[in-house]
Amino acid sequence: MAEFKVVISDPKTGLSVQSEVKEPAAKSFLGLKIGDTVKGETIDMQGYELEITGGSDFCGFPMRKDVLGIGRKRILAYSGVGVRKGEKGMLQRKTVCGNTVHAKIVQINLKAVKIGGTDIFANVRAKADATKADRAAKKSEGKGVAKKAAASVPKEEAPVAATA
């Protein structure tokens, strides 16, 4: 029984939405590879066209486009998905998944190539705007409080040395 968490991102705004895809719709993803496109109608998003950009399996290993097949493989890599930035030219041995979606994949990352009629990113955009407004309010409020607190603290006078 295949179930996927699907993360759909909008490359223009940088926003992303996460949803779950259950059995009947999840079967349409099996066998697809990174770079393939999917119609949004398969996951109830009319008018959308989505491109598979990656994913991860049940243990958290990332999918890589350049690794063929469905299983895990240990590769020697110097850049790309799953590799930390190190010294220039330094090779690292990493375990990654192949580029094909199979039953043990848990998360699929998708990119919205074509936007449909309904805006699925509206709720996320509203939350992001509210968070920005809250941060701006706290930042401006914090500056005013710091100035008031500094002004209300009395300055201590330096002790005068006694001369004999």
Q: Could you tell me if 3 and 115 are in contact, meaning their C-beta atoms sit under 8 angstroms apart?
A: no
Domain-located, residue 159: no
User: 105-114 and 4-9: which strand pairing?
Assistant: parallel
Distance CA 25, CA 126 (A): 28
Domain membership of residue 38 as a residue range: 4-66+99-123
Q: Which of 34, 35, 32, 8 minimizes the C-alpha distance to 21?
A: 8
Domain-located, residue 58: yes
Alpha-carbon 17 to chain mean position: 9
Domain-located, residue 128: no
- At residue 162, the pLDDT reads 63
- At residue 101, the pLDDT reads 93
Domain-located, residue 10: yes
- What is the average per-residue pLDDT within 78-102? 81
Task: Please state the φ and ψ torsions of residue 109, each to the nearest 5 degrees.
Answer: -95, 130
pTM of the model: 0.73
Give percent of the chain above pLDDT 90: 32
The total of structural domains in the chain comes to: 1
Q: Which of 58, 131, 51, 67 minimizes the C-alpha distance to 100?
A: 67
Which of helix, strand or coil describes residue 147?
helix
Domain-located, residue 81: no
* pLDDT score of 145 more than 90: no
Other CB atoms closer than 10 Å to residue 89's CB: what's the count?
A: 7
- What is the average per-residue pLDDT within 98-104? 91
- At residue 85, the pLDDT reads 74
Banded model confidence at residue 152, pLDDT cuts 50, 70, 90: low
Express each pLDDT in 111-130 by its tens digit: 999 888 888 888 888 888 88
* pLDDT score of 39 more than 70: yes
Domain-located, residue 90: no
Domain-located, residue 141: no
Domain-located, residue 115: yes
